[in-house]
Amino acid sequence: MMLTVQNLTEYFNRIEMPVVNYSREDIARAIHIASHDRDALRGLYRSMIDAWPRMSPTTPRTDAERKARETFAALAHMADNTNWKFDYISPDGLGRAYADPAQHGPVMALAAELYREARIDPVVELTEAQSGHSRKE
């Protein structure tokens, strides 16, 4: 059975443990297949934002949610570039990949929009994540 965004959303809605039972490549492939279903992808994003604090109960909620956003952004990059290897992410990092809207496919464009809806600059947050710094809440 092929992994779908709906399967992933249901999975993240109920996950409690800090272990995801799917490979990043399989998740990126499922996201790519659903790349034009913005509602399904928004649902997946929300389920990830809700899941990360449950998966990491000792981590401050804002940090866990940031990690979920970063993970979704990385998966969006993988999905839009149809390269299923996580190490494919540009050597300049996700911040640079998100800095140029002309480089965005449909999933990266949605990820950037979700950041803006949260009043967060994706370029700043993803660049800081790459450099090991976190923005001040």
Structural domain contains residue 137: no
More confident of the two residues 43 and 85: 43
Mean per-residue pLDDT for 106-111?
Answer: 95
Structural domain contains residue 18: no
Structural domain contains residue 69: yes
**Burial of 94 (C-beta count, 10 Å sphere; 0-12/13-18/19+):** buried
Q: In whole angstroms, what is the distance from residue 105 CA to residue 102 CA?
A: 8
Asked if residue 98 lies in contact with residue 126, where contact means CB atoms within 8 angstroms, the answer is: yes
Range of the domain at 49: 5-12+23-131
Structural domain contains residue 74: yes
Q: In whole angstroms, what is the distance from residue 8 CA to residue 90 CA?
A: 25
Mean per-residue pLDDT for 103-131?
Answer: 90
The pLDDT tens digits of the residues spanning 57-104 come to 999 999 999 999 999 998 998 899 876 555 555 545 788 889 988 889
Structural domain contains residue 17: no
Structural domain contains residue 87: yes
Q: In whole angstroms, what is the distance from residue 80 CA to residue 112 CA?
A: 13
DSSP characters for 51-101? HHHHH-TTS-HHHHHHHHHHHHHHHHHHHHTT---GGGS-TTHHHHHHH-G
| pTM beyond 0.95 | no
Total count of domains within the chain: 1
Structural domain contains residue 32: yes
Q: In whole angstroms, what is the distance from residue 18 CA to residue 12 CA?
A: 11
